[in-house]
Chains A and B, each alone.
Chain A
Amino acid sequence: MTVSSGTRAPSRAHDSRRVLIFLLLAPVLAFFIVFNTIPLLWLLGLSFHNFSLTGGVDPQFVGFRNYYQLWLGRNNFWGDLSRTFAFVGVGVTIQTVLGMALGLLFWGSKAMPGRRIALTLLFTPMVLTPVASGTFFRFIYDANFGVLNAIGRGLGFETIDYLGDPAFAFWAVLAVDIWMWTPFMIMMTLAALGSVPKAELEAAEIDRIPFWKRFSLVILHHGKFILMLGIVLRTIDSFKTLDLIIPMTKGGPGQQTRLVAVELNKQAFESFNMGFSSAYAVYLLLVSIAMTSIFIFVLNLRRQREG
């Protein structure tokens, strides 16, 4: 009797603790289910249907037709995807390199007068809305009235149609993306540098270890997780770039700046082609999951090696 009551008491306490945990988690879970799981399932279901919002008819089940058509390259799906990978790859790489370089520069110049103001100004592009930045740069790039061409003409160069020439448009848009998001990588670099123990850095300095070795063995060793987090966030965000492209080129000229998010937006919210765009979104979701998984895998791999 004593034994049994002794076992029941902790079990009851354990049960009530579980109930409490569940109650505390319930609002978050409910939110997640209502705003994440259900829409995702809805999206999955819709992707197997032919449904246009303007068609005036109910959704028709078409099996994997939407997926199959995308796989065959309908609407130049693979072209858009490879262009997006180029945009993400080149953009995030330059942002990371530039961001780390500038971050190290600012980190090493704490006594520089006006450092705070310089940093604040440097972060400005990041806090502007991409639509405003895109509109702003569309005017800067304008062939007839844009300031960039005015300067170029003043220096004796030919007028360049930055956003209308297929040879320039992609790079012109990418340059704005780099301008906007390099500050984010500066911020992440500064955060990463802040996580490096001062004692180790001082020891490395006393031992007169060259900068490059200090950087790779001390700074990167401690700061890589924060930096990698920055790269992952930028990669995912860059993969979804839409609001910068729309005011600048709408994906043109031709399809030169048409990234997957631009086409998805067009299919879903301009053409109201809900079934096809759902399949498109599922493909992109899979690509995003794959990319994030690769980053996490690489991180874990290094951690395992170091462990």
Chain B
Amino acid sequence: MNRFTTRTAGGLALPRRTILKGGAAMAATALGAPFINRLHAKEAHPLAGQTIEMNILGIAGWLPSSLGVQMSPIFADFAKETYGYDVRFGFAEAPFSDLFQKAATSLATRSQEFNIIISDSQWLGALAQPGWIVKLNDIIAANPALQVDWFSQTVVDTYMTYPDGSADRYGLPQEGDTIALFLRKDMLDDPAEQAAFQQKYGMKLPTTFEEYETLTMAEFEKVADHFNRPDQGVWGTAMQYSRVYDFVSCYLYPFMWSQGGQIWNPDNGEVVGILNSDINARAMEEMKGWLKYQPPGATNFGIAEQVDVFTQGKVFSCFQWAAVGLVMIPQEMRDKVMVVAPPKHGAGADAGRIYTMGGQPWVLNAFNDDPHMRVGVDFLKWWYQPETTIEFARRGGNPCDAATLNDANFDSINPWNRAYKYMLSEGRSRDFWHHPKYAEMLALQQEGFSAFMTGQNNDAKAVLDYIACGQQQILNDVGDAPTVPGMCYSTSL
């Protein structure tokens, strides 16, 4: 009898035959699992029963990027139920200023280290031109779930298209983003402040979204001036002037574009004579003028510094990306903050409002093998499902599809949603260069704009000459612009 029993750890004696039967059943279950899964899965899928490891490269310290990562387990459940395969996600991160470097060095080696990448919109050209990311036209055409009705053409132009104006699609929006104006509602609602403002400036203190919708920067300057109290440690506003990444550029462009300035001619690559215009020089002077309403050190302000000064009550208002709404408005400030559309530039009928687009697209690594490519596409299809987009919005993200944004409840989900949607509408926000030489052109310009804003060079026109010449030379080097004119050899910062 003893020869045919086995003692378990708990001391229970089992017949060997029972163990063998149990083992066989378990083996059959393990081997048959894929087929059972396939039977359970709603759709027949070539990967059913398999386990796939996916890696996403995202932006460190950037809430919308981390939301995409946080929501991936929901996709894992969805994939299991719908397609019958298991998917596990790994994540890598780098800050904005280093992410492209991290992605590019990996992709240049034809690696599939990162299967899905949260790219910045301006990198589309640099990633697409060497063939590192997948051209999505065929994938979109084959998958109705990816044929999304986007909220505006701006979404398509910003997150999906390269070359600009073409029908080629390389990205799909992960997070939409626009600049919004965050205001201290509690200060605006104070009757004493309203009376004092009325008395000092002879106009009503704007307190509603509608009133800010029609406000110009000249009028908002009065509001910022009213709340600018350095002796109390409170300043009127905060913008971004930092030379890191694209910070100062994104905040200077609205001053230029809204008043008719342009930054280049995308058709022939000309920059000289376009960027270094009088309108743009005036725009630079204007933006620099706003420093007097901002805390010390504002010339170093980027996204994080703005969040710090706003949440710590050092500024009354802040021009900030809608994407960081969740950190700009912590729970304890939920009733104290109002988010509106940023003011128009210029005066009267000529006043315009064209701000810079933020946000990031998803892109797929072109070196993914077939299983990873399939899972990547499945992931994107899931990302644009109505349940996913609304969940993304609930968690603080900014979807871009028309169905979600036009939903009657969308504006009330987050305090910044109305302003975000307003600025995402056609013609109110604009992206800049998707050219492969984007990084080089940007670095040159960031230095120039920073030099002007910090007072290293106080001649706006000379700085613009320097940048325009440098950028056209960069484009000329790759045959995308005419030779720089002779005046360029005498420009310097």
Residues of A within 8 A of B (CB): 50, 52-56, 72-76, 79, 142-145, 149, 159, 161, 163-166, 250-256, 258, 266-267, 269-273
- Check A255–B470 contact: CB distance below 8 A: no
Q: Which of A72, A164, A250 has the most CB of B within 10 A?
A: A164
Contact: B244 with A250, CB < 8 Å? yes
Chain A binder among B185-193, B281-289, B323-331, B435-443: B435-443
User: Chain A residues near B451 (CB, 8 Å)?
Assistant: 166, 253-255
B454, CB-defined interface residue at 8 Å: yes
Distance in Å from the Cβ of A234 to the closest Cβ of chain B? 28
**A-B complex: 5 closest residue pairs judged by Cβ atoms:** A143-B297, A254-B451, A254-B456, A253-B454, A271-B440
* B493 engages A76 (CB within 8 Å): yes
The answer to whether A166 touches B309, judged by C-beta atoms less than 8 angstroms apart, is: no
Inter-chain CA distance A269–B98, complex, in Å, is 9
A-facing residues in B432-487 (Cβ within 8 Å): 436-437, 439-440, 443-444, 447-448, 450-457, 470, 473, 477-478
Q: Is the CB of A252 within 8 A of B129?
A: no
B127 CB to nearest chain A CB (Å): 8
Q: Which residues of B contact A73 (CB under 8 A)?
A: 492
Report Cα–Cα, A256/B457, bound state, in Å.
Answer: 11
* Bound-state Cα–Cα, A289 to B296, Å: 43
Given contacts A54-B125, A165-B454, A271-B440, 18 further A-B contacts (CB under 8 A): A54-B129, A55-B437, A56-B131, A72-B489, A143-B297, A144-B296, A144-B297, A164-B300, A252-B454, A253-B299, A253-B450, A253-B451, A253-B453, A254-B243, A254-B451, A254-B454, A267-B440, A271-B443
Contacts of B452 in A (CB 8 A): 254
Q: What are 5 A-B interface contacts by the 8 Å CB criterion?
A: A166-B451, A252-B243, A254-B243, A266-B443, A272-B104
**Distance to closest chain A CB from B245 (angstroms):** 9
Tell me whether B450 and A56 are in contact (CB under 8 A): no
Query: A143 to B347, alpha carbons, bound, how many Å?
Result: 34
- For A251, what are the chain B residues with a Cβ–Cβ distance below 8 Å? 243, 447
Complex: how many Å from CA A255 to CA B467?
13
CA–CA, A56 and B170, complex, Å: 15
Contact, CB under 8 Å: A142 / B297? yes
Complex Cα–Cα for A306 and B453 (A): 56
Query: B295 contacts which chain A residues (CB < 8 A)?
Result: 143-144
Contacts of B202 in A (CB 8 A): none
Q: How far is the CA of A256 from the CA of B129 in the complex (A)?
A: 34
CB <8 Å contact, A161 and B443: no
A144 contacts B314, C-beta separation under 8 Å:
yes
Selected contact of B308 from candidates A50, A144, A267, CB within 8 Å: A144
